[in-house]
Amino acid sequence: MPTATKTTPPPLGDQGPVAEQFEAMEQQRQADRMGMWMFLGTELLLFGGTFGAFITYRVIYADAFAEAASHLDLKLGTLNTALLLTSGLTMALTEQLSRAARHKATFWLLIATIAIGALFIGIKGFEWYKEYQEQLMPVLGLTFDYPGNQPDRAQLFFNFYFVMTGLHAVHMLIGLGVLSVIAVLAWRWRDPPRIARQVQISGLYWAFVDVIWVIVFSLLYLLRV
């Protein structure tokens, strides 16, 4: 008995039954993490297509794009960046607490992350609504009435803006759905080691959404006149 107390127990995510195709939990954990990292790599490339195209046009139409960028709401964008990074913090804390098997704390931190994420989507929607009112939304056949120079180029900029932020919002919504499912599982707390693993893997995804937003924010909002 005394020797047993001295050895540190394995982290919670390393416990529980191993899936039938694996030989050991360590192997399963490594496979899960590697799979998620590779998936995120493909997601980065998905966004990368728009980033590459945007940067190309940003160089070709430098002046027009810089001017168009100044019509975006930098304050709301900055607020959203701060919110999303905060949600990254709560998600990282969730991971630690779920591994320490802290039931209630895991659940409430997940709720906090979901709430901040939802707030982000709300603010983003408000921004889009503002742009719709200012007639800066050249999609769905809406009138595009741009007050500055070179409206054609500006239209291209706003096209990119809606594609990039829209695609990012879709990823946020998927993330919110996943986190909601885990929050329900965390509330029931049936299989804590498994929840700890799920939190870790979905935390990777959430961090990825953060990173993508930072790139989107820098490209669209910060490169202005």
User: Could you tell me which stretch among 89-97, 148-156, 188-196, 208-216 binds other proteins (CB under 8 A)?
Assistant: 148-156
| Position among 162, 191, 204, 211 found at the interface with other proteins (CB under 8 A) | 162
**CA 52, CA 158: separation in Å to the nearest integer?**
16
User: Could you tell me which stretch among 81-89, 133-141, 174-182, 211-219 binds other proteins (CB under 8 A)?
Assistant: 133-141
**CA 200, CA 108: separation in Å to the nearest integer?**
16
Our finding on whether 50 is near other proteins (CB under 8 A) is yes
* CB within 8 Å of 158: residues ≥ 6 apart: 68, 131, 136, 137, 138, 144
Provide the residue count of the chain.
225
Our finding on whether 128 is near other proteins (CB under 8 A) is no
Q: How far is the CB of 34 from other proteins (least distance, A)?
A: 5
Our finding on whether 160 is near other proteins (CB under 8 A) is yes
**CA 111, CA 91: separation in Å to the nearest integer?**
10
Specify the residue, 21 or 133, whose C-beta has the smaller distance to other proteins: 21
With CA atoms as reference, report the closest residue to 106 among 215, 172, 189.
189
**CA 147, CA 67: separation in Å to the nearest integer?**
10
What tokens were used for 149? 């120079």
What tokens were used for 214? 């930072």
Our finding on whether 173 is near other proteins (CB under 8 A) is no
Specify the residue, 19 or 74, whose C-beta has the smaller distance to other proteins: 19
What tokens were used for 24? 């050991």
User: Could you tell me which stretch among 34-42, 76-84, 85-93, 195-203 binds other proteins (CB under 8 A)?
Assistant: 34-42
Specify the residue, 179 or 201, whose C-beta has the smaller distance to other proteins: 201
Our finding on whether 15 is near other proteins (CB under 8 A) is no
**CA 43, CA 195: separation in Å to the nearest integer?**
24
User: Could you tell me which stretch among 1-9, 37-45, 80-88, 100-108 binds other proteins (CB under 8 A)?
Assistant: 37-45
Our finding on whether 35 is near other proteins (CB under 8 A) is yes
What tokens were used for 117? 């994420």
- Which amino acid, residue 182? I
Interacting residue ranges for other proteins, rule: CB under 8 A: 20-23, 27, 30-31, 34-35, 38-39, 41-43, 45-50, 52-53, 56-57, 61, 138-141, 152-153, 155-156, 159-160, 162-163, 167
